[in-house]
Structure 1
């Protein structure tokens, strides 16, 4: 009987403990039920990034001599005063700088472009983040000049594409994280004006980025895997032609097939049309040539209105979860405005003022319209209309 009482007491104690535990757990669950649960917004959160890019920044000798100051330095800042807020206001800005920056070689325009280093500082101040060096003039100051050009921009915090500093096989191509969206940027040049003959095969393969389809396909496919958006900037086509060649069309479509989302073409020195390509249910974008952004190829020098015109491409990307798409695309026509200073240098020619204009700011109703005289207003209006028709961008 005593043994039974002991067992009964133990059983009762266990039951009591179980009951207390159940009450405690019930209280905990009730408490948790009143605590707000954070929802996983990773799949619904939207991220956006705005990219702008322009064509050739091509410094003919008159552009840098006109920018020379009394102390021997160069000030290119006024050239970009009307585009600075457009470029600086973007989340990522890419400029195509065509030429070299190397103090070991004389300054020069065509055919061997070599500009003062102040142009790099000006581009930094204007708001550029990336500089495209994949072009046919990058060896104008030999390989040492090309590598020094990279160093000059990099020292200011600007990334570059198109030239590899040590070894292409070992260096990663550029991927920028822009507001949570990874954007890969690749540049390729059709050739180097024969200057590559001064390089060994090993130097060529280590430093240059040309239109080798095998390498491009490999890199673009890799970029598609690593990045959310892949931007390719090829340099090819026929100079001063307003339509792309068959080779451009075929290759740029291949780039899209390989994984490019955006193809921003350059080299013809004039604008060529845009194209929208459907792939896997999403729209991809091609502009066959963005034209010149700033140069001395004005109508007064060439009797051709198109080389003084260019584009500032303006794209917005949107990422939702793991899906990233091109949300908007705009093509802003540009124009180089130049006029004589009334000053003449030892070179024997007149110096000029240069300004790059975003034409939306200067057409009827634009914020800077009143800065132009009647003749220039007519020129701006004509350029805006003709370029809009040529580009024929139908992005809704």
Structure 2
């Protein structure tokens, strides 16, 4: 049936309403709009979309700067030390000292800074001596330096009582030898200097973004004296005005000051009052760590509080790193082990994980065979039972040795809170 024009228009109008209603319903379901909104309004009114709110970004806090430090006491090259190295030498070699240190190599390599007190000079113009024949004179072959550099040490202190054992010319040769090694291997060498200007050139080494200054002083040089007009320089402990000036200058140039102090009475675990007094002065002048040596025995250690409430730490004596002495108390040393931490926001310096690893110098009879230095964690009751010190010549005054005696020496010389026995 054909619709009339009017009915057709009405039908179209009804259809339009139905269509609009359908669109409106669809809009309500999907968009959640009001039923009063029309499709035309939706198409003509521009829709505004708000930009998503960005979460405020926070800058990551930088990590604190950290430097792991390890140190060792007297590298004392006795006659029997270099004779062991002579037996270990391969074809075309004179000496090989490296195997003597192999058991502690992992500790030295793991450190960011490793410091060694080199107790003997190295002069190729003079005979090799290691207190043999009863004369307490020391001069070592250059292979010693090769071994301890290969071991991982990068800071060497030379201020000790044996500097003039072979005279000033031999000392100058040794200084120049170590200076050359420093240039070739990025080392820091100090404690004996070519002249006054060299002595006042504060050694600073930057490690992991932390600047560390190193200073070294000696108590005496075995009664020897520099000849008149000799420019060589060693700063002595009694020169407190120089020490104070240098520590304060070092504190201005660096974040941390480490002082090597060659001092004390040999063959005792007791710390003298004059050392305690000087240690307190050094810390108050700005020293952060003091590494004591010279006594050939391990000694106690402690925090020292400055007048402003901050603290420094002193190891009164590290004892021997290697030697062939014949008293049991000379055969246990300590290896200071600690972290320098710089706060990333304030720049404040603290010392953390401070302590010392006991090191044992082992040899067997006859002729100081199988010589080597061990950390406590690698030494055993079985090794202690065959130690050669009871049979060594010349005979010492304390020659018994066992696992229990070893532990007694450690406990007598090192406070339990600072003992690192498992490293």
TM-score range, shorter chain: 0.7 to 0.9
Report if aligned partners of 1:332, 1:359 keep a CA contact under 8 Å in 2.
Answer: yes
Q: Tell me the equivalent position of 2:316.
A: 288
* 1:79 maps to 2:97: no
* 1:126 maps to 2:154: no
* 1:379 maps to 2:397: no
Alignment of 1:223-302 (within 5 A): 223-279=250-306, 280-298=308-326
**Which residue of 230, 234, 240 maps to 1:208?**
234
Q: Tell me the equivalent position of 2:164.
A: 139
* 1:310 maps to 2:333: yes
Larger displacement relative to structure 2 (244-253 or 152-161)? 152-161
Which digits, 9 at most, give the CA deviation of each residue in 1:261-315, with x for residues without a partner?
11111111111111111233333211111111111113xxxxx311111001101
**Which residue of 52, 57, 61 maps to 2:75?**
57
Unaligned runs of 5+ in 2: 1-50, 388-400
Return closer, same or farther for 1:171/1:247 CA change in 2, 3 Å cut-off.
closer
Which digits, 9 at most, give the CA deviation of each residue in 1:67-93, with x for residues without a partner?
113646101111101011111110000
Report if aligned partners of 1:334, 1:357 keep a CA contact under 8 Å in 2.
Answer: yes
What's the offset of the Cα at 1:326? Answer: 0.5
Q: Tell me the equivalent position of 2:142.
A: 117
Q: CA RMSD in A?
A: 2.6
Report if aligned partners of 2:200, 2:246 keep a CA contact under 8 Å in 1.
Answer: no
Return closer, same or farther for 1:334/1:380 CA change in 2, 3 Å cut-off.
farther
Report if aligned partners of 2:324, 2:368 keep a CA contact under 8 Å in 1.
Answer: no
What's the offset of the Cα at 1:353? Answer: 2.5
Whole-Å separation in 1 of the counterparts to 2:176 and 2:56: 53
**Which residue of 321, 326, 330 maps to 2:355?**
330
Please identify which structure carries the higher strand content: 1
SS in 2 for 1:136: coil
Tell me how many residue pairs correspond in the alignment. 341
Whole-Å separation in 2 of the counterparts to 1:140 and 1:284: 34
Whole-Å separation in 2 of the counterparts to 1:260 and 1:94: 16
* 1:66 maps to 2:84: yes
Q: Which has the larger radius of gyration?
A: 2
Q: Tell me the equivalent position of 2:204.
A: 175
Return closer, same or farther for 1:169/1:102 CA change in 2, 3 Å cut-off.
closer
Whole-Å separation in 1 of the counterparts to 2:251 and 2:154: 21
Whole-Å separation in 2 of the counterparts to 1:258 and 1:286: 14
Larger displacement relative to structure 2 (216-225 or 386-395)? 386-395
Whole-Å separation in 2 of the counterparts to 1:153 and 1:89: 23
The TM-score normalised by the length of structure 2 is 0.74
Q: Tell me the equivalent position of 2:128.
A: 107
Which digits, 9 at most, give the CA deviation of each residue in 1:291-345, with x for residues without a partner?
11111113xxxxx3111110011011100132111112121111110024x6xxx
Return closer, same or farther for 1:394/1:319 CA change in 2, 3 Å cut-off.
same
The TM-score normalised by the length of structure 1 is 0.79
Alignment of 1:183-222 (within 5 A): 183-196=212-225, 198-200=226-228, 203-204=231-232, 207-211=233-237, 212-222=239-249
SS in 2 for 1:265: strand
Q: Tell me the equivalent position of 2:16.
A: none
Report if aligned partners of 2:71, 2:337 keep a CA contact under 8 Å in 1.
Answer: yes
SS in 1 for 2:69: strand
Report if aligned partners of 1:120, 1:152 keep a CA contact under 8 Å in 2.
Answer: no
Which digits, 9 at most, give the CA deviation of each residue in 1:112-146, with x for residues without a partner?
20011000000011010011100010122322322
Whole-Å separation in 1 of the counterparts to 2:418 and 2:80: 38
**Which residue of 148, 164, 189 maps to 2:173?**
148
Return closer, same or farther for 1:309/1:374 CA change in 2, 3 Å cut-off.
closer
